[in-house]
Amino acid sequence: MSTNNDLGPGELKEINEEVENGFHYGVLRMLEISNFGVGDVLVKQQYNGNDEDGRPIYENCPISAANHAPQKFKVVHVDRFGVPWIKRISASNGKLSNHLATIISHSSDAIRFVPDKSYAEAIITGDENFDPLAEAKRERKRVKAIKEENKKRLFQSQNPDEVEKVFKSLKIGKVYWFYDEQNIPTVFRDKDTLNYNKIRVDKVFKAIKLDKYITSTTWGGHGNSTSDLKEAQKLTNNMWVMSYTRWDNWAKQWTQGGDDNIAVAQFVYKKCGLYLEEPELYETQ
């Protein structure tokens, strides 16, 4: 063991900085402040920058993009070095996974494990009915409610008359959310994801020629082929067209890019969708 006399100028400070902040000491620092035992339920957290005072911010790792409840693990063994071995708790049935791992294999300065607050409260209150899936169940229920609400706000129809009626009801200058795809999302995790398809109606009018307003830009992957246009015109002789300006997520402003128009026939043929009201966000609570 070296004494401080064996260290050069500044080397002790270098060692202390490595111990406090070094990547390889992350697990040891966590074990120093933790005292996990067999049966403990843990929550996995991920580093997400620093606060104004330079202190690290950790956020719970969600089960999935569709369920923001935290990932939970159970300590199934503590070895002779005091290192906990864990298994993940399934969010669907509460069973433990077959994958056995140490906290060391997961942890770094970017990842850490902390006691599950609801589990800790159950221990303190003596609650024998603790359910590690309670949060996941609540989140599934909340997601379902958001999906159902957003479906009510979404207009999608293959009936030309219904689409024409909606086109005529659109307010000039009002913001809507337009999708030219069949699998239209009903869950949005953040404003940027939501606003990617935000549009503002500039004009709604009856066109003289339908093919003039179905361009390769708005028609998407179908292109502006004669067969596509004929297929679209079979569905309706309606010439109503919506002209719009799209929101630019990067520039954070409205931008007019190309021939941004869409016709009733195109809407019907491509099974497009339009949110007539702003969709509800699914945000972490």
Please report the DSSP string for 171-211 in residue order.
Answer: PTT-EEEEE-SSS--S-B-SHHHHHTTEEEEEEEEE-S-GG
Summarised one tens digit per residue, pLDDT across range 103-126 is 877 766 678 888 887 776 666 666
**What is the spatial distance between Cα 242 and Cα 277, in angstroms, rounded to a whole number?**
17
**What is the spatial distance between Cα 45 and Cα 106, in angstroms, rounded to a whole number?**
11
Residues in the chain: 285
Q: What is the mean predicted confidence (pLDDT) over 169-175? A: 94
Alpha-carbon Rg for the chain, nearest whole angstrom, is: 28
Summarised one tens digit per residue, pLDDT across range 231-243 is 555 544 557 888 8
pLDDT above 80 for 131: no
> What ranges do the domains of the chain cover?
4-132, 143-275
Q: Where are the alpha helices (H) located in the chain, listed in sequence order?
A: 11-21, 26-33, 103-106, 117-125, 134-153, 160-169, 191-195, 216-219, 226-235, 264-269
